[in-house]
A and B are shown apart, each in its own frame.
Chain A
Amino acid sequence: MSDQEQKNTFTRFSAFRIASLAILIAVTTIFTYLIRIPTAPTRGYLNLGDVAVFFTAITFGPFSALIAGGLGTALADIISGYAQWAPITFFAHGIQGFIVGLIIFAHRKNADNLRIGIVRLVLAFLGATIIMAGTYFVTGGFMYGFGAAATEIPGNILQNVAGVLIGYPLALAVRKAYPPVLTYKW
């Protein structure tokens, strides 16, 4: 890397951004890989990867969610032995976080309006679900057929429901307990 290129990179990414992204990636990986809640009806597990993506998008903004959501969940896939999913997961969860962040951070001057807040959250959920479940369905369809890929749609929707239902209150609770986090978004 040339000196000029190095200088430009450092100007774009301050140490604080690097640190926040690295920590958020590690958090997303842990939420996806380690924290799993058993779901009684299907005897399956619900991972909290989407909760971390929603939390990052709501608290830190779309660009942090794009990188932390994408790389964090992809790393969790690699660690869990499902590395073949990592590139798709990176794209699906990265764009999912970016969309959620964009919708939540749009028109911040109306942030205190409860009705607008709810509409924004519903739109973020819909956008995230379409992007995430859609990406897995299309890529899964090309890899092993659309019949089998369709069986994953309900699970992916459930993940997004958990993401918004746990991620949003989590973001509010963290803001309340640790107000300096409000200054961390970029």
Chain B
Amino acid sequence: MITSTYQNGNSYIHKTDPRMKLFLLVFFTVSFFITDSISVTSLYFLFIMFLIGSSIGIKGMAAPVKTIYPLLIFVALLTPPFHPGGTVYLRIGSHILVSNNGIMETLRLIIRFTGITGIFFLFFRTTSIDDLILSLRWFHVPFTITLILTIAIRYIPHMIYLYTSVTDAHKLRKNWNSKEEKISFKTRIKNLFPVLVSVLIQSIKAIPTLAMSLELKGFGSKRPRSRYMTIHQYYSFPLQLFLLSAIVLTVILSAIL
């Protein structure tokens, strides 16, 4: 399930330091909100699309748009009437539906949202969860939070297995939620409820066992921890830092000018 987000690859973005990518993710997200100029946001957007295209492939450029296109349709339909001004293209009575200002605002919002979606897509497609957690540690996110996240991610497949097993067990007891039948919403909830109770109880029962295994592994010990996982370095760190600074400087200058 996690691998459906991250795809192993050999591109230069895959090989870039995850800390740089995490910084750029936050930086570009903020940059999209700082400037109001359509031309500048379009440049950011094109740069992100270039990164996606050159690292994941041309098909990859459509992937983030696919997930948000219904929302983009809503933006295109609902934004123009709220921003009247400039040349009027369509009006009903005294109400301006489509004007020059409305179209420009719609474009700006669509570019911004698609760009933000694109940068998040690129980050999670090219960064493994392990690298992300190590980067968070480097940015001084508390050890306990990253430990909780690591254990939770490891437990997700177990939970899926648990849910499937409990659902199958309940299905064996009676003819339940077969796809051919049309079942009302109320019946679906009624059928699902005992499954949820069983899944929750089984999950909660795992807490003391997990806590015990953490203690057996030495959690809470005053002795310093040993660490074996490190962030993979493919390119030299100063070179990446130089490129990162160049990108940041260009973005800031384009926003100012």
Which residues of A pack against B, CB within 8 Å?
1, 3, 6-7, 9-10, 12-16, 18-27, 29-31, 33-35, 37-40, 48, 51, 55, 67, 71-72, 75, 78-79, 81-84, 86, 142-148, 150-151, 166, 169-170, 173-174, 177-178, 181, 184
SS class, residues of chain B in contact with chain A: helix
A19, B5: Cβ atoms closer than 8 Å? no
Bound Cα distance A148, B71 (Å): 7
A166, B144: Cβ atoms closer than 8 Å? no
Interface size band for B: 35 or more
Q: Would A29 and B152 be within 8 Å (CB), given that A16-B211, A19-B214 are in contact?
A: yes
Task: Report the minimum CB–CB distance from B253 to chain A (whole Å).
Answer: 24
Task: Report the minimum CB–CB distance from B105 to chain A (whole Å).
Answer: 7
Is B93 close to A, CB under 8 A? no
Q: Which B95-151 residues have C-beta < 8 A from chain A?
A: 105-106, 109-110, 112-113, 116-117, 120-121, 123-124, 142-144, 147-149, 151
Contact with A along B78-99 (1 / 0, CB 8 A): 1101100000000000000000
Known: A38-B188, A144-B71. 5 other contacts (CB 8 A): A23-B203, A25-B152, A26-B158, A34-B163, A147-B74
Bound Cα distance A44, B188 (Å): 15
Residue among B109, B120, B163 making CB contact with A84, cutoff 8 Å:
B120
Residue among B63, B163, B189, B207 making CB contact with A30, cutoff 8 Å:
B163
A146, B224: Cβ atoms closer than 8 Å? no
Residue among A1, A3, A86, A143 making CB contact with B222, cutoff 8 Å:
A3
B192, A35: Cβ atoms closer than 8 Å? yes
Residue among B155, B184, B188 making CB contact with A23, cutoff 8 Å:
B155
B112, A21: Cβ atoms closer than 8 Å? no
SS class, residues of chain A in contact with chain B: helix
A169, B159: Cβ atoms closer than 8 Å? no
Bound Cα distance A148, B110 (Å): 11
Task: Report the minimum CB–CB distance from B151 to chain A (whole Å).
Answer: 4
> B157's closest neighbor in chain A, by CB?
A26
Q: What are 24 A-to-B residue pairs whose CB atoms are below 8 Å?
A: A15-B212, A16-B211, A18-B144, A18-B151, A21-B148, A23-B203, A23-B206, A25-B152, A26-B152, A26-B155, A26-B159, A27-B200, A29-B152, A29-B159, A30-B156, A81-B4, A82-B67, A145-B105, A147-B82, A148-B78, A148-B109, A174-B197, A177-B201, A178-B201
